[in-house]
Amino acid sequence: MSYINVEKENSGNIDLYYEDHGTGKPVILIHGYPLSGASWEKQIAVLLAAGHRVITYDRRGFGKSSQPTTGYNYDTFAEDLHKLVTQLELRDFSLVGFSMGGGEVARYFGKYGSTGVSKAVFVSAVPPFLLKTPENPEGVDGTVFDGIQKAVVADRYAFFTEFFKNFYNTDLLLGKRVSEQAVQASWNVAVGSSATASLACVPTWHEDFRKDLTRVDVSTLVIHGDADRILPISASGLRTAKLIKGARLSVVKDGPHCITWTHADEVNRELVNFLGEGAGKRAGTAS
């Protein structure tokens, strides 16, 4: 088991668990809420077979990483990612973020630029700006996030049960594209997360990433399901694809939020084709 120390909280270390497999051009897979790096299992084997070095890690508070009570904001999440990149001495790597992980990708560019980064992928991702405001009418009403926080405080175990119904659109896809056991496995991972992290991450979902996205100047792919109930495509994926110059948009028909599981074949095909193209030309420079 591999860990990287990113910080301390009082007398204890804050360590991130990561896995580093294969050879070739590095791809960092960043998971969504409330799961862990293991949630990429349907992508890892395929990317390894395609000749990539595949790196996953667990966000602080989740999976096998430490569970501090501090640092649940995107500046810190991006800093954690940067420390991993630095320790592993990565060059010419791709960043792939699912759901909340897409925020890390955006903020990484916002804080550190594109040095060393060859490509970016946003899968069912939270950018660009989810909160509805007078100048952002396409967003989601703030009362929705308030309600989620109240539900987490009241009984996060019950909340996760309801959350995964919309995560996988189980009313339509259970027994077809996702099994009861897979949903249960996700719930098991979720309840093992930090209670602090389970709550503190919710308000980060409406972070404004629009300025960060203006700094994404590498080849970019946006993949989103058109039946996503967690992050509706109209409020997230479609807008992200428009804000990043030259971004490619791939819409998964009838895809729920967790298309990495329910529509893994389609997602994997897009990932392998995109990551295997060229040498990661800068957006706007390709012929």
Per residue in 108-144, is it b (16+ CB within 10 Å) or e — as a string?
bbbebebeebbbbbbbbbbbbbbbbeeebeebbeeee
Q: Which residue in the list 36, 65, 66, 99 is annotated as catalytic?
A: 99
Structure tokens at 283: 């957006």
Q: How many CB atoms lie within 10 A of CB 89?
A: 7
Residue 162 in contact with residue 153, Cβ under 8 Å? no
Q: Is 257 designated active site? A: yes
Q: Which residue in the list 58, 228, 236, 250 is annotated as catalytic?
A: 228
What is the Cα–Cα distance from 63 to 57, expressed in whole angstroms? 9
What is the Cα–Cα distance from 251 to 237, expressed in whole angstroms? 9
3-state helix, strand, coil in the chain (%, to 5): 40, 20, 35
Q: Which residue in the list 31, 224, 257, 263 is annotated as catalytic?
A: 257
Residue 57 in contact with residue 37, Cβ under 8 Å? yes
Q: What are phi and psi of 221, to 5 degrees?
A: -120, 135
What is the Cα–Cα distance from 9 to 31, expressed in whole angstroms? 23
Block residue for tokens 């967790």: 258
What is the Cα–Cα distance from 191 to 193, expressed in whole angstroms? 5
What is the Cα–Cα distance from 130 to 237, expressed in whole angstroms? 11
Please give the distance of CA 166 from its chain centroid, rounded to a whole number: 17
| Active site members | 99, 228, 257
